[in-house]
Amino acid sequence: MSDMSRIKTFNLPDLGEGLTEGEILTWLVKVGDIIELNQPIVEVETAKAAVEIPAKWAGQVQAIHHPEGTTVEVGAPIIAIDTDPGAGPLDAPSTTATPSGDLPTPSAASLAAVEVAPAEGMVEPGLIGGAAPGGRTAVLVGYGPRTTSAKRRPRKGGVPAQAPTLAVDHGVVVGDKHPSTPIIPAPQVHDRRGGATGGLVLAKPPVRKLAKDLGVDLATLTGSGPLGAITREDVQQAANGATVVAEPITATATSAASFGADREQRIPVKGVRKLTAENMSRSAFTAPHVTEFLTVDVTRAMKALERLRNRREWRDVRVSPLLLVAKAVLLAVKRHPMVNSTWAGDEIVVKEYVNLGIAAATERGLIVPNVKDAGRLSLRELADSLTDLVQTAKSGRTSPADMSGGTLTITNVGVFGVDTGTPILPPGESAILAFGAVREMPWVHKGKVKVRQVTTLGLSFDHRIIDGELGSKFLRDIGDFLADPEAALLAWT
């Protein structure tokens, strides 16, 4: 087999839905490794997801074209693979990274021996051609939804911001408000004996006089006072023969009095967090939001959940208040289908299916996976789907397919001990429900004040689609179900 047919270059594939680039997060292989078909070779992060990309060929890694942290455009070569390493050495040496991190330019012979893979279509979640070695499955790992095209991220290695200048004037440290201002060197400070210290000595006049009388050189002392100032005790200790080690006063010694970059943390905005910011900003300033609130006595619902947990066929099922809230939303949508719709400019698209989104906080940011066609599921099927959705999100294995196509969302802020909120609509949706914490509170029940279990619901909706009457009726139906789920089921089904 010739070198031309042996060496194949794998280009970064189209990872779905119009994305144009991705950032190399982690290389799972290195030059010289023997790999198998469908073995995960690299993890790439896009604005939608972090993706493990599997190998299209078995063989030996000959070159890695981009180091970790690099943003690569779709279609650019990322790795070269020798598909027949047993045929002997290649004519041209493999391309490896230099110690400085730069990749050398390949020779003409090596370029001639490279066969570029044809353009690829979308990589679907799951396998490409079969199971990966060792039982591992190359999957798309999702961390957030996206409805806008990706933009190029700035490459790493930019010039860091200059630390602020700390100027000293008569023992007072002042933080420079302009980090770009050149650093002002500390002035020579002369003590009262007439000699230059060569550094900064902070001491009050009485302390200087005491040091002069006792024959103590202030420049050899380390101050224990504010901002490193030398005190009478420091001078007396030195005069008594105690060892005092002099240390230069630097910006870090006065950090408690500074308010600059040395006490700030800068976190790059990219990936899921950048996408969330773009989506929330676009939604907040595009769809006119209205939020209504309803406080509900859910004591009967909590008792119904407990009875459900005690049933034999439900003992291995995770039953939480979120399950009843989800069921309440689905039943209320059937009664008010306009809530489950999308604004499409010159028309409103009312959807007969409900892809119920559940907002989830992950290490990479907020994601909203959804249960597909949740309105057709039984209560048991809905419980299993919610459990799988939450566990998958917490493990960071949510696929992009699970985060696309949402029609209506629930955000369970109650798990953080919050009573309610004013949630922002996910782009393309017309309603989102905030479910607050369930608390024991005094409540008028049957004419008497009793301790009851109470929660507060917050419904945000797109006022272009949902007017006040419709939004209020929808929220009221959700509250009615949670107040007495058994009666609501009998009345509505």
Separation CA 77–CA 65 (nearest Å):
7
Separation CA 341–CA 462 (nearest Å):
10
Separation CA 233–CA 189 (nearest Å):
22
**Alpha helices by DSSP H, 321-420:** 321-335, 379-394
Separation CA 421–CA 359 (nearest Å):
13
Contact (CB, 8 A) for 23 and 69: yes
Please name the amino acid found at residue 405: G
Could you identify the residue written with the tokens 């990322």? 78
Both structure tokens of 386: 């919610």
Could you identify the residue written with the tokens 């008569």? 170
Separation CA 69–CA 80 (nearest Å):
19
Separation CA 427–CA 275 (nearest Å):
11
Separation CA 348–CA 110 (nearest Å):
57
Within 10 A of 209 (CB to CB), how many other CB atoms are there? 13
DSSP H or E segment with residue 354:
none
Please name the amino acid found at residue 326: A
Residues 6+ away with beta carbon under 8 Å from 321: 298, 301, 302, 305, 414, 435, 438, 455
In 396-438, beta strands by DSSP E: 408-411, 431-435
User: Which one is catalytic: 66, 190, 445, 463?
Assistant: 463
Separation CA 271–CA 45 (nearest Å):
7
Please name the amino acid found at residue 82: D
Separation CA 74–CA 22 (nearest Å):
7
Strand partners, 231: none
Both structure tokens of 391: 């566990």
463 is catalytic: yes
Angle at 106 between CA 104 and CA 108, to 5 degrees: 150
In the three-class reduction of DSSP (H, G, I as helix; E, B as strand; rest coil), residue 41 is classed as strand
Separation CA 150–CA 446 (nearest Å):
57
Separation CA 34–CA 220 (nearest Å):
63
Asked whether the CA dihedral 310, 312, 318, 323 is positive or negative, the reply is negative
Residues 6+ away with beta carbon under 8 Å from 10: 41, 55, 56, 57, 77, 78, 79, 80, 81, 117
Which residues are marked as active site? 463
